[in-house]
Amino acid sequence: MKKIREVVRMFRSKPTLEGAGVRLKRAIGFSEVPQFDPFLLLDDIHSDDPADYVAGFPWHPHRGIETVTYMIEGVVEHGDSMGNKGSIRSGDVQWMTAGSGIIHQEMPQPKEDTLRGLQLWVNLPRSHKMMRPRYRGIEAAQIPECRLPNGTAVKVIAGRYDGKEGPVRDLVQSPEYFDVSIPAGGEFSHGAPDHYTVFAYVLAGEGTCGPSSATPVVSENLVLFSSGEGIVVRAGARELRFLLMAGAPLGEPVAWRGPIVMNTEEELDLAFHEYRTGNFIKG
């Protein structure tokens, strides 16, 4: 790679109350959102106290986005207006395209030790805001893992790495979503188109990101990279585990209110009017 991406900014996830009273850490979702186009939100539920999360996320609508739920440890029960229902268990992924409208619920189940799950929101372009909703439930065993000579493990959820393609396909923005674990002292590099937005969210461990002027990172840090041909991440004295996301920016106006993301305030008003009057689901 000729041009290694620099670290533009580093963020610390912030305590946030969401749903019916779920205590979580929000890594993306505040004033920094325009820098992450097409990604809108990244929430990290991470607790060993069920009181922090059992209230869950009761029935609520979405329109204009895709939501990606990845369970690291624990179980979330879900159901939606398309008739899908079931459990998202440790290592599983749920990729839901809300499109023209879906109503669903997500209820974390009590666990004796730590429960951890993450949800990412990916924006849909104007041309696909009102597409037909769809749902993909991916079990942990369906996610391919690449083992590199230095011991690095890369779980490929979406996109392609080292000849292996993730099971979440036919996505509007063709994003990449990897779960990467680098052993102590190891290094990981990955190329992405220069115009792609690329960021990493550290799940555990410590290390550095960037070229020679490396930036130190620790757990719950989110790293936004500059333009360039690829990234380099190095683990420190402990294993470094992080999620890596990349996608093509939309460059479109964002009108966002709660669980619905459109292009104009008028479209938002219409969406909430349809929800209140029972006309939200388009079939």
Mean pLDDT for each consecutive 10-residue tract of the chain (283 residues)? 87 96 95 93 97 97 96 96 94 95 97 96 96 94 96 96 89 88 96 94 96 86 95 96 97 96 97 96 81
Token pair 């900014």 in the structure block, residue: 9
Q: Which residue has the tokens 């292009």?
A: 263
pTM strictly above 0.85: yes
- Torsions phi, psi of 251, nearest 5? 65, 30
The CATH topology of domain 7-276 is Jelly Rolls (2.60.120)
Nearest alpha carbon to residue 207 among 229, 232, 230 = 232
Q: DSSP secondary structure string, 206-265?
A: EEEESSSSPEEEETTEEEEE-SSSEEEEEE-SS-EEEEEEEE-------EEETTEEESSH
Q: Which pLDDT belongs to residue 168?
A: 84
Q: How far is CA 17 from CA 20, 67, 205, 220, 240, in A?
A: 8, 18, 26, 17, 28
Query: How high is the pLDDT of residue 183?
Result: 98
Query: In the prediction, which pLDDT does 213 show?
Result: 63
**Does an H or E element contain 276, and which?**
helix 265-276
pLDDT, residue 20, reads 96
Cα 82 to the center of its chain, rounded Å: 22
Q: Are 43 and 24 in contact (CB under 8 A)?
A: yes
